[in-house]
Amino acid sequence: MANSTPVMKKAQEYPLYSLVIQAYKQEKYIRQTLKGAFDQTYPNLEIIVCDDASPDHTWEIIEEEVRNYKGPHKIILHKNAENLGIAGAASLAMKLPLGEVIIWNDGDDISEPNRVMRIYEEFTRLGAETMMLWCDNLSIDALSNPVYEKHIRLYKRHSPVKLQDIKARTLGSGMGPGGTNMAWKRIVSDSFPPISKEFLGWDFIITFRALLIGRIAHIQEKLIRYRTHPESTTNSGRPTNLKKEYEKRAKGDCCFIQYFAQHLIDISTIAAQTQDPKLIREYTRIEFIIQNLIRRQIVSFEIMSNFPNLSLKTLWKAIPYPGFHRHFIYAILYKLGFYHK
């Protein structure tokens, strides 16, 4: 009778994957993050830990944990000489991996032990055209207790996603692939210029670039624990005062205008490399969508930055965008003292 025991591959028979941990002022959480990385079951893994010149004890804790690590994974440490900010540090960290796939991990989030292995399995199953994978995540608080389910809707109906599936409302909506739950082939990073350090949401740029040269797929499994806490740079909670909320949204509008402008540049970069008339028409169509999105974001910025003093001129600009009309009602209620929170 034939032996049915599966043959286990040796570590070197797996492609090299890179798990990148980006840390800044995360001395409370970095031990758990590193443990999640060290516990990965994928056999051919390099773990790159980057610290963006943290002023606290984050770097000392990283060095201590790495000294005590006796496992099989290769560990690479890098500390920035000065603080580069979210996008600047991320852009530099993307240059360090040698693996064919980059798996992102913020310094306060915790990867499940099978995260990298599941990413490898899905990339293998889906084939060469898939450039990015993203997974679901479980939100936890500062004490690692689950707080709520992070409902992810974008791209679920079109998985794997191709460029032609993009609709105007899905570009930059904040749902779906995000830095905390993304993995992408290194060719995505290598095919475009470095991301500007001015871009807070570098993950929007990477996601769009992945779609320009391939497709995205979704792993409907919670493979990472996403931490929400007051010290977080990007998810520290919403202001309680409505005017402060609008000021925050105005800053967000500025960011999205930048992202969309970068999308146009990236389309030009990739379109210059093809002679396929079908692809050129598709790129032109997406350019038109993005130009409309920029116009919409400019109107949104005017509303958010001037709230609650919204003029008739601004109202006239908002007429093509029905979703903005409610903000004029909120402005009146706010001035009357009925809508301050």
pLDDT band (50, 70, 90) for residue 54: very high
Phi/psi-derived region of residue 233, left when phi > 0, alpha when psi is between -120 and 50, beta in every other case = alpha
Averaged confidence pLDDT in the chain = 85
Gap between the terminal Cα atoms of the chain: 73
Secondary-structure class of domain 13-227 per CATH: alpha beta
* Domain locations along the chain: 13-227, 242-335
pLDDT tens, position by position, 303-312: 999 999 999 9
State what percent of residues in the chain have pLDDT above 70.
Answer: 85
Question: Are residues 341 and 334 in contact, defined by beta-carbon separation less than 8 angstroms?
Answer: no
Q: What is the pLDDT of residue 293?
A: 86
Q: Alpha helix (H) ranges present in the chain? A: 30-38, 58-68, 85-93, 115-126, 186-190, 202-213, 242-271, 277-306, 312-318, 325-335
Across-strand partners of 171? none
How far is residue 218's CA from residue 122's CA, in Å, rounded to a whole number?
Answer: 9
Question: Are residues 210 and 132 in contact, defined by beta-carbon separation less than 8 angstroms?
Answer: yes
Q: Which of 54-58, 232-236, 291-295 has the highest mean pLDDT?
A: 54-58
Average pLDDT of 221-229? 88
Radius of gyration of the chain from Cα atoms?
22
101: which 2 tokens? Answer: 């796939």
pLDDT tens, position by position, 117-153: 999 999 999 999 999 999 988 888 888 788 755 443 4
Average pLDDT of 257-262? 90
Q: What is the pLDDT of residue 311?
A: 94
Please state, in angstroms and as integers, the Cα–Cα distance from residue 189 to each residue in 93, 147, 263, following that order: 11, 33, 14
Predicted structure pTM score: 0.83
